[in-house]
Amino acid sequence: MSVCAKCGGKGFYTRRYSGETLCVGCFGESIVEKSRRTMAKYRMVRRGDRVGVAVSGGKDSLALLKVLHGIRQDQGTELVAISVDEGVAGYRDEAISHARGLTSELGIEHLVLSYKELFGFTLDEALDWKEDREVSSCSFCGVFRRRAIDEAAAKAGVSVVATAHNLDDYVQTFMMNLLHGDVSRLGWLDPAYEDDSFPVRRVKPFMEIYEEEIALFAYSSGLPLQSVSCPYMHEGLRSEVRDWLDELEAGHSGMKNVLLRSSLDVITNYGSASRKASVPCSNCGNPSSGGLCNVCRMKAAVEQHINYRG
């Protein structure tokens, strides 16, 4: 029987990249400790911060809420959970009910905003237009989600929003930017970057933790799992990048960790030079790369389509 390297208890999980075996309790503590270290290293939150936690209701975001709740007193922070209802029939309702369950159990204020109330259409209605678009459903949805989170953050009075992006998400995004030839976006991945033109700071406390470990933490903490996936989740290139990185990791343990370090080096040394300055959108005043922001551009196209159909 394998034993925990920290307390000698019954082994639960072995980190292949380090060979360390931990029991359930020590494994859970290691996830909290890693998150705490990442947050300190990049000064993600400060004492007195009111922190918005983006909670989709999926396992990663529930795990994030649980971890941040456990360390909120040490960090001197106050939490508000923020959920965005995209309006996908049969999918998001379950996740939001998981988010409601955990926030009420932990006694955390919970704000839910929907695409319908913010933009005038649900994702289901907007994606009817999908066939004519060049962007994937998730890229389209992501543009509105980021804006919805900004709006929710303003409503909740928070200046920093924590999202549950993990190490796998981070290196996939890095690779996706390279594969799209989009080096100008690399600068936005800098975990220490702050831009006063953006209304809220985004932080990723799980960015140095493998997705597999977050999933295991959620499972061992008894957090609820979603039974349905989003019907629009056909991520194309991202799925291929994910499979490729998983394959590399399976053959060479620790490879994703190495890629994270290399990404951070590239971003720190090159990112600020590549980051384009943002200018206010000519319609809504939010940051854009010039003219209309992505939200206003895409919203106009959806409205045109809905009016045309109607």
The CA distance from 51 to 28, in Å, is: 22
Would you say 159 and 201 are in contact if contact means Cβ atoms under 8 Å apart?
yes
The dihedral region occupied by 43, where left means phi > 0, alpha psi between -120 and 50, and beta the remainder, is left
Question: Of ligand SF4, Zn ion, none, which one sits near residue 296, judging by CB under 5 to 8 A according to partner kind?
Answer: Zn ion
The CA distance from 135 to 51, in Å, is: 31
Residue with tokens 């895409």: 298
Among 166, 187, 232, 271, binds ligand SF4 (CB under 6 A): 232
Among 230, 260, 295, 296, binds ligand SF4 (CB under 6 A): 230
| 296 counts as binding Zn ion under rule CB under 5 A | yes
| 141 counts as binding Zn ion under rule CB under 5 A | no
Residue span binding ligand SF4 (CB under 6 A) among the ranges 32-40, 138-146, 179-187, 296-304: 138-146
Residue span binding ligand SF4 (CB under 6 A) among the ranges 134-142, 174-182, 187-195, 252-260: 134-142
| 148 counts as binding Zn ion under rule CB under 5 A | no
Count CB neighbours of 43 within 10 A.
11
Among 106, 138, 143, 292, binds ligand SF4 (CB under 6 A): 138
The CA distance from 22 to 20, in Å, is: 7
Question: Of ligand SF4, Zn ion, none, which one sits near residue 233, judging by CB under 5 to 8 A according to partner kind?
Answer: ligand SF4
- Sorted by sequence, the CB contacts under 8 Å of residue 103 that are 6+ apart come out as 55, 65, 81, 109, 110
Residue with tokens 């290293």: 41
Which residues face 79 on adjacent strands? 51
Q: Within the chain, where are the H helices?
A: 24-41, 59-75, 92-106, 115-119, 123-126, 137-156, 167-179, 211-220, 237-251, 255-266, 272-274, 294-309
Nearer to ligand SF4, 223 or 230 (CB): 230
Would you say 161 and 84 are in contact if contact means Cβ atoms under 8 Å apart?
no
Among 21, 35, 103, 137, binds ligand SF4 (CB under 6 A): 137
Q: How far is the CB of 282 from Zn ion (least distance, A)?
A: 8
Residue type, 297: R
Residue span binding ligand SF4 (CB under 6 A) among the ranges 26-34, 135-143, 250-258, 276-284: 135-143
Among 71, 284, 301, 306, binds Zn ion (CB under 5 A): 284
Nearer to ligand SF4, 212 or 235 (CB): 235
Q: How far is the CB of 65 from ligand SF4 (least distance, A)?
A: 18
Tokens of 201: 């700071």
Count CB neighbours of 195 within 10 A.
12
Kindly state the number of chain residues that form the binding site for ligand SF4, as judged by CB under 6 A.
8
Instruction: Please tell me the total number of residues recorded for the chain in this structure.
Output: 310
Question: Of Zn ion, ligand SF4, none, which one sits near residue 268, judging by CB under 5 to 8 A according to partner kind?
Answer: none
Q: How far is the CB of 184 from Zn ion (least distance, A)?
A: 19
Nearer to Zn ion, 117 or 243 (CB): 117
Q: How far is the CB of 140 from ligand SF4 (least distance, A)?
A: 7
The site for ligand SF4 (CB under 6 A) is made up of 86, 137-138, 141-142, 230, 232-233
